[in-house]
Amino acid sequence: MRIIRRSLTESVGPVSIETPSGEVFGLELDEVSPGRFEALYEGPEIGLYRLKNGEQSAVIGLGPAAPVEFEETIASAGPLAGTIAATGGGAMALADGLPRIREVRPGRPAAGRGWIGITPRGAYETRGVTQLPLLPAWLTLVLASALILGGWLREGRR
């Protein structure tokens, strides 16, 4: 990482660097031209580094140009093959056509040629709702009346 600090002063103090693991240390900046101070730092770990010099601060994300998430961007069933086999499910490419959807009982195969299955769990059903008032109606009326009266008295003093 290249740290560049511009300042109208003749010198700047060291930059405080906090690594992703929490270690804090200082790094001296060298003047490369009038008002421009620079330092190179090779970060030992991937993550966020917090830099502070005087009242100036910055956060830098240090890591590979191509993180793991972008190495394999084409979807495939490979990484989930174990889970798919264990649950009796399946994976199909939509390029082969939209599969039909069927209801299947628990424990039965949930995929076949041109179809995928859904095991109904009834998770959409609302079994019961309980509503409780926050305050009794009479107390709400008393509080509202008191607030209206208080506002009226305060505005009437002007």
Q: Give me the pLDDT at residue 146, please.
A: 97
Which tokens hold the place of 41?
């730092």
Domain boundaries, the chain: 2-62, 86-120
Q: Give me the pLDDT at residue 138, please.
A: 96
Concatenate the DSSP letters of all residues of 79-117 into one string. Answer: GGHHHHHHHT-----GGG-PPEEEE--TTS--EETTEEE
Q: Give me the pLDDT at residue 6, please.
A: 92
Q: Give me the pLDDT at residue 53, please.
A: 92
Q: In whole angstroms, what is the distance from residue 38 CA to residue 55 CA?
A: 17
Q: What CATH code would you report for 2-62?
A: 2.60.40.10
Q: In whole angstroms, what is the distance from residue 133 CA to residue 85 CA?
A: 50
pLDDT digits (tens, 9 = 90+) for 62-73: 887 777 777 778
Q: Give me the pLDDT at residue 73, please.
A: 80
Q: Can you give the pTM of this predicted structure? A: 0.44
Q: Give me the pLDDT at residue 158, please.
A: 66
Which tokens hold the place of 43?
């970060």
Mind listing the pLDDT tens digit of every residue in the chain (158 residues)? Answer: 899 999 998 889 899 999 999 999 999 999 999 999 999 998 888 889 999 998 899 999 888 777 777 777 888 888 899 998 888 888 988 888 899 999 999 888 889 888 999 988 878 778 889 999 999 999 999 999 999 999 999 998 86
Q: Give me the pLDDT at residue 70, please.
A: 75
User: Which residues, including other chains, have CB under 8 Å from residue 91's CB and lie 6 or more apart?
Assistant: 77, 80, 84, 111
